[in-house]
Amino acid sequence: MGRRWIFGLWLALCFSTSVQAQAVPSGAELRFVSQDLKALSLYFEGMAILEEGQKGKPFKLFEKAAKRIEKRLNSGQLNSGDLAVLFNIARITGNSEEILRLGQFRLFLGGDFVDEELISTCAQTAYSRGDLERAIVFLKAGDRFLPPNMERTAAICNLYANLGEADSALANMARLFQYPEFEIDASIRYCLLLNDFGLDNEAYIAMELLFQRFPEALPVQMARAKFLQVGQREAEAEAAFEAIYRNPDFSEEAIAQDFVVILEELTGANLAKDHPAWQAFLRLT
């Protein structure tokens, strides 16, 4: 009985303004069923016509597909593919409220109902509506249901930074330290966050500790050199850059890529040509 009540409540919350909003039958049982292939066919047919440039007929097909799926949902029949189709229709039609409502429902169901596309779309939709807290909720749900992801973590940190919550931003980036594949990148980003929040001394100490831990890693050496340069430690920065470009163990391609990035950063900063940063760069060339 409890499952019926919870399921009915969530359907009421999620579909109260949808095309087929109906009362959930009192005897509706939650059942996981196979996908509605007819609805899927209508969806793909609509997509094909939409790609041809037609505007009227595709949306009629989308509406038919949505009605079929919502009818199944209102009777307690669930399928992850059905909800994905319904979600895509909401996205295509630009119904942001329905996107977020369906997103919440899929998060409630969890498992196969949650994927990276759902998380990113809902987070972006919430952000575009100015709801930063809701965007964070979706992104953090991605951390709960999906493998760790640097792009998602960086987005969470940026949102927390926009809200002025430095501790939360730093804590979320630090969470990736435990994963070897993200440790270096997350550590570098952590140092940059410290710097962004005005914690210059802490950022410098963290960068030096990172360099001690990974003294031979090119990304760490390059990040440290740039960090020293931005911090007006010109002599140290020049020595750090020179050590990189004189090291035969680093590939020319990797160095060239970073060289281009530095050049773009200097150009974008509109610094005078006699600025110490430019002079240090030119000496390295």
- What is the C-alpha to C-alpha distance for residues 83 and 79, in angstroms, rounded to an integer? 7
pLDDT at 25: 42
Contact present, 243 and 224 (Cβ < 8 Å):
no
φ, ψ of residue 77 to 5 degrees: the values are -95, 120
Cβ atoms of 280 and 234 within 8 Å: the answer is yes
State how far the Cα of 227 lies from the Cα of 265, in Å rounded to an integer: 13
Q: How far is CA 206 from the centre of its chain?
A: 25
32 secondary structure, DSSP code? E
Q: How far is CA 189 from CA 37, 136, 228, in A?
A: 45, 19, 15
The pair phi, psi for residue 32, each rounded to 5°, is: -90, 120
Residue 58's DSSP bridge partners are none
- What is the reported pLDDT for 61? 95
pLDDT of residue 207: 93
Question: What pLDDT is attached to residue 133?
Answer: 94
CA-CA distances (angstroms) from residue 19 to 65, 132, 135, 156, 264?
Answer: 11, 28, 25, 33, 51
pLDDT value at position 22? 36
Extract the residue ranges of the chain whose pLDDT is less than 70.
Answer: 1-28, 251-285
SS3 call for 31: strand
Length of the chain counted residue by residue:
285
pTM of the predicted protein model: 0.75
One-character DSSP codes across 200-239: HHHHHHHHHHHHHHSTT-HHHHHHHHHHHHHTT-HHHHHH
Q: Vertex 93, ends 91 and 99: CA angle to 5°?
A: 35
In terms of DSSP H, where are the helices of the chain? 2-15, 37-51, 56-74, 80-93, 96-109, 116-128, 132-145, 150-162, 166-174, 180-196, 200-213, 218-230, 234-245, 252-268, 276-284
